[in-house]
Amino acid sequence: MNCTFETLINPEWNVPRYAAEANKITTELVCRPDVPRFSDVLPILLAYVQSRQAPGKPVLWVAHNAKQFDVPFVIQEFERCSAQVPADWLFVDSLCLARKLKKSDGNIGLLNLKALGEHYGVSSEGPSHRAMPDVQALCDILPKITLGLKLTCDGLIGEARKFYDFRKVSRM
């Protein structure tokens, strides 16, 4: 069974130059009528996640630099759709975990995904700063970080925050 979901999103505004330089996603690539808007994808995303969610269990999202990028972006897009992020969606920022690990492991240098991949011997396929290659790299890197921190699954969930908790923290 394919357990991945990936799509470009039409942001309905111009992609900033710095973002296009980092991820190679340009205004010309996404601001087209054939590229769905977030409001088009949201019901599909919600149904997809719900179809894979264990009854009564939270959904755990993990992203590198989630606190500064992914979570604010997701909240903004949900709000643009007059929707709320489901209360049982939790988020872990793997960059925060890597920072904790770096304090005890002096061999870790830079904390971006590429550098962590090199540190752990994880090869990345595809361009960095694109969803699926970053997800695949993080799937290989996260277990190594959690092992270094001696984090169990329950411990990882203990590191998680609700989406709106990230918003409160990032505004401080």
pLDDT tens for 70-97 read 899 899 999 999 999 999 999 999 999 9
pTM: 0.85
| 66 in Cβ contact with 92 (< 8 Å) | yes
Q: Is 64 a catalytic residue?
A: no
Does residue 172 surpass a pLDDT of 50? no
pLDDT of residue 1: 44
Confidence band of 2 (pLDDT split at 50, 70, 90): low
Alpha-carbon distance values, 118 to 37, 99, 104, 122 (Å): 35, 16, 18, 6
Does residue 116 surpass a pLDDT of 90? yes
End-to-end CA distance of the chain: 42
Q: How many residues does the chain have?
A: 172
Domains and CATH numbers, the chain: 53-170 (3.30.420.10)
For the stretch 30-75, pLDDT in tens is 999 999 999 999 999 999 999 999 999 999 999 999 888 889 989 9
Among 129, 130, 162, 167, which one carries the catalytic annotation? 129
Does residue 129 surpass a pLDDT of 80? no
Alpha-carbon distance values, 4 to 12, 91, 129, 145, 161 (Å): 25, 18, 17, 22, 23
9 versus 166: the higher-pLDDT residue is 9
Does residue 142 surpass a pLDDT of 90? yes
pLDDT above 90 covers what percent of the chain?
A: 65
